[in-house]
């Protein structure tokens, strides 16, 4: 089993009712643009979202989110692998990695409430670790693959996080980044943007435990760089053969690269 730094909190089957030891900033949202994102505000926001996270995702993606995570897990070639799932939330990708044959998965997240949700569900081959994508508490080259699904957009310095992914991935290992993207068709892009800024925050009021977080979601998707930029970041971080696969008419892009 991979051992994280002893100073890092490792949660195992924590009670879902445990209070968050992290900062609580009532209702305040982090900046949605690429600059000035505050990790403490991001953590507090996801702590608030955690209780109904899965329900909201399924509703707001019209049930597509499970398929996106299956593709993400598969792209990591998880069979018999030690995989790190960064920004794991309640562990949806981690569970999928195990289902697709991963030997062991470390699910790391900044939000204690997200980790507690995941750990409450219990899973033998998943270890829950509290930590920051920008400073991973693991030795060099300790994983066969690293995945991040709908997490990189929330990290204050995504390129620093990608360098960390490269550091902890063994040569030849995989990194998979699943993230929202702009649809490639101009007509669909217009409809989608209307959904993001108009309908989505309204739906979120019904299905989410923190509707304002979905305003941040819309703004952060619109501020996120295009596919070519993310591909360039992966190459610069030390990954080769970088490819991208579009899902749902380009609403979601899954990048994969191999550690040089
Ligand atoms: C939208 S959720 C995605 C959860 C999961 N990967 C999924 O696909 O459902 C984003 C997650 O990123 C986590 N996160 C944000 N910034 C982070 C950071 N710097 N390091 C680790 N996790 C972070 C949040 O706490 C949250 O659980």
Query: How far apart, in whole angstroms, are the C-alpha atoms of residue 88 and residue 133?
Result: 10
Query: How far apart, in whole angstroms, are the C-alpha atoms of residue 132 and residue 76?
Result: 21
Q: Which residues contact 90 (CB under 8 A, 6 or more apart)?
A: 50, 53, 54, 114, 115, 117, 118, 121
Condensed to tens digits (0 to 9), the pLDDT of residues 3-32 reads 333 333 344 333 333 333 333 334 666 777
Q: What band does 47 get if pLDDT is binned at 50, 70 and 90?
A: confident
Q: What is the mean pLDDT of residues 120-146?
A: 95
Query: How far apart, in whole angstroms, are the C-alpha atoms of residue 48 and residue 93?
Result: 20
Cβ pair 176, 76 in contact under 8 A? yes
Does 1 score more than 90 pLDDT?
Answer: no
At residue 11, the pLDDT reads: 44
Higher pLDDT residue, 40 or 223? 223
Q: Say how many Å lie between the CA of residue 187 and the centre of ligand 1.
A: 30
Nearest CA to ligand 1 atom 27: 89
253 forms bridges with which residues in the sheet? 179, 246
At residue 214, the pLDDT reads: 80
Condensed to tens digits (0 to 9), the pLDDT of residues 69-92 reads 999 999 999 999 999 999 999 999
**Strand order, beta sheet including 169-180:** 10-11, 126-130, 104-109, 82-86, 143-149, 169-180, 252-259, 239-247
Q: Say how many Å lie between the CA of residue 251 and the centre of ligand 1.
A: 18
Q: Is the CB of 181 under 6 A from ligand 1?
A: no
CA dihedral 52, 57, 58, 59 (to 10 degrees): 80
At residue 133, the pLDDT reads: 98
Q: Where are the domains of the chain?
A: 10-259
Mean pLDDT computed over every residue of the chain: 86
Q: Is the CB of 208 under 6 A from ligand 1?
A: no
For residue 54, which atom of ligand 1 is closest to its CA?
A: 9
Q: Is the CB of 109 under 6 A from ligand 1?
A: yes
For residue 43, which atom of ligand 1 is closest to its CA?
A: 25
At residue 36, the pLDDT reads: 63
For residue 133, which atom of ligand 1 is closest to its CA?
A: 20
Cβ pair 85, 104 in contact under 8 A? no
Q: Is the CB of 214 under 6 A from ligand 1?
A: no
Q: Is the CB of 32 under 6 A from ligand 1?
A: no
Higher pLDDT residue, 123 or 35? 123
Q: Say how many Å lie between the CA of residue 150 and the centre of ligand 1.
A: 7
Q: Is the CB of 49 under 6 A from ligand 1?
A: no
Q: What is the mean pLDDT of residues 169-188?
A: 96
Condensed to tens digits (0 to 9), the pLDDT of residues 213-222 reads 888 888 899 9
Q: Is the CB of 179 under 6 A from ligand 1?
A: no
Q: Say how many Å lie between the CA of residue 140 and the centre of ligand 1.
A: 22
At residue 209, the pLDDT reads: 66
At residue 34, the pLDDT reads: 61
127 forms bridges with which residues in the sheet? 106
Higher pLDDT residue, 254 or 196? 254
Q: Is the CB of 39 under 6 A from ligand 1?
A: yes
Three-class SS of residue 18? coil
Q: Say how many Å lie between the CA of residue 180 and the centre of ligand 1.
A: 13
Q: Is the CB of 92 under 6 A from ligand 1?
A: yes
Q: What CATH fold (topology level) applies to the domain 10-259?
A: Rossmann fold (3.40.50)
């Amino acid at each position: 089993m991979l051992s994280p730094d002893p100073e890092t909190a490792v949660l195992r089957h924590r009670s879902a009712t445990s209070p968050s030891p992290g900062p609580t900033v009532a209702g305040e949202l982090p900046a949605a643009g690429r600059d000035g994102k505050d990790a403490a505000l991001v953590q507090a926001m996801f702590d608030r979202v955690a209780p109904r996270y899965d329900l909201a995702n399924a509703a707001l993606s019209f049930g597509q989110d499970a398929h996106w995570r299956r593709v993400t897990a598969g792209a990591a070639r998880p069979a018999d692998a030690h995989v790190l799932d960064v920004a794991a939330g309640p562990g949806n990708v981690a569970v999928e990695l195990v289902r697709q044959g991963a030997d062991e998965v470390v699910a790391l997240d900044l939000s204690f409430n997200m980790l507690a949700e995941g750990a409450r569900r219990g899973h033998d081959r998943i270890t829950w670790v509290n930590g920051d994508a920008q400073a991973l508490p693991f030795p060099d080259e300790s994983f066969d693959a690293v995945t991040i699904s709908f997490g990189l957009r929330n990290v204050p310095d995504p390129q620093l996080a990608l360098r960390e992914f490269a550091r902890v991935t063994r040569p030849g290992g995989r990194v998979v980044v699943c993230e929202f993207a702009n649809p490639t068709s101009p007509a669909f892009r217009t409809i989608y943007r209307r959904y993001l800024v108009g309908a989505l925050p309204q739906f979120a009021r019904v299905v989410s435990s923190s509707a304002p977080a979905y305003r941040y979601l819309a703004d952060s998707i619109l501020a996120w760089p295009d596919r070519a930029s993310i591909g360039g970041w992966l190459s610069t971080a030390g990954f080769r053969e970088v490819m991208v696969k579009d899902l749902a008419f380009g609403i979601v892009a899954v990048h994969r690269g191999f550690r040089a």
